Structure 1
Amino acid sequence: MTVLAILESKGRYIYSVEPDERLSAAVKTLAERRVGAVLVMRGTRLDGILSERDVVKVLADRGPAALDGPVHTVMTRDVVSCSQSDTVASIMEVMTLSKFRHLPVLDASERVVGLISIGDIVKWRLNEYEHEQRALHDYIKSA
């Protein structure tokens, strides 16, 4: 199974913030949208990603005053991404080994076309497992 299949089932909408936006506004976006990460974009260019972990770390290091600073001082700059043709197994491995929970999905032109979370993968795998179990059950019943 590929990333494309997940995007087609969940949708391609992403939440993003500008690099110069105040961190407090980005945190509000995370909370209102009930997401664990937002992409940091300048126009259509991906500059970074801001996750809940980034926010927790900066608050622990700098305290509440960090919320007045710009997102670009807190975001993760070296963003690992995937393509629509990557397999679910390969991105699960990347996420597990790298210990992060969100992967931007880029097309061949390096344009952002979606965002995959570990939650999306778990949901997909559970649905796939349930489908296999039903098929096996139906097969055994008909034998």
Structure 2
Amino acid sequence: MTVRAILESKGRYIHTVEADARLAVAVKTLAERRIGAVLVMNGARLEGILSERDVVRVLAERGAAMLDAPVGTVMTRDVMTCRQDDTVGQIMERMTAGKFRHLPVMEQDRVVGLISIGDIVKSRLTEYEHEQQALHDYIKSA
């Protein structure tokens, strides 16, 4: 299965914030949307990603006053990305090695989606269910 197939199933909508937005605004978006990360964009250009882990880390290190800081001071700037043609296996390896749970999907320097570890798990479970049903049907017809 490819990233493209996952995006076609889940949709391509992404939640974004600007680098100068206050961290409190981004945290509210994460909570209200029940998501684990937002992309930090400058127009159509990806500047970074802000994840729950980034928020927890900065609050633990610097305290609640950081909620008034701009997202750009907290976000992860060196963002690993993937492409639509990448396989689930490839991105699972990348996420495991980098110890992160979200990958922006890029095509020709443009963000076209966001894949989470939850999306991958869901796609793998769906694959396994289809395989199990096919085996069941095969055994039944034999």
TM over 0.5, shorter chain: yes
AA in 1 matched with 2:141: S
Distance 1:87 1:26 in 2: 30
Correspondence list, 1:87-98, <5 A: 87-98=87-98
Report deviation, 1:71: 0.2
Give the structure 2 partner of residue 117 of structure 1. 116
Give 3-state SS (helix, strand or coil) of 1:38's partner: strand
Report deviation, 1:140: 0.6
Distance 1:38 1:69 in 2: 16
Correspondence list, 1:30-45, <5 A: 30-45=30-45
AA in 2 matched with 1:64: A
Report deviation, 1:110: 1.0
AA in 1 matched with 2:7: L
Give the structure 1 partner of residue 28 of structure 2. 28
Task: Give a deviation string over 1:66-116, Cα, whole Å, max 9, x none.
Answer: 000000000000000000000000000000111000000001x11000000
* Identity rate, percent: 77
In the alignment of these two chains, the number of paired residues is 142
Report deviation, 1:34: 0.5
Report deviation, 1:21: 0.2
Matched, 1:132 2:131: yes
Distance 2:97 2:129 in 1: 27
Give 3-state SS (helix, strand or coil) of 2:105's partner: strand
Distance 1:33 1:13 in 2: 12
Q: Specify every segment of 5 or more residues in structure 1 that has no aligned partner in the other structure, as ranges.
A: none
AA in 1 matched with 2:71: V
* TM-score for the superposition, normalised by structure 2: 0.99
* TM-score for the superposition, normalised by structure 1: 0.99
Correspondence list, 1:51-130, <5 A: 51-107=51-107, 109-130=108-129
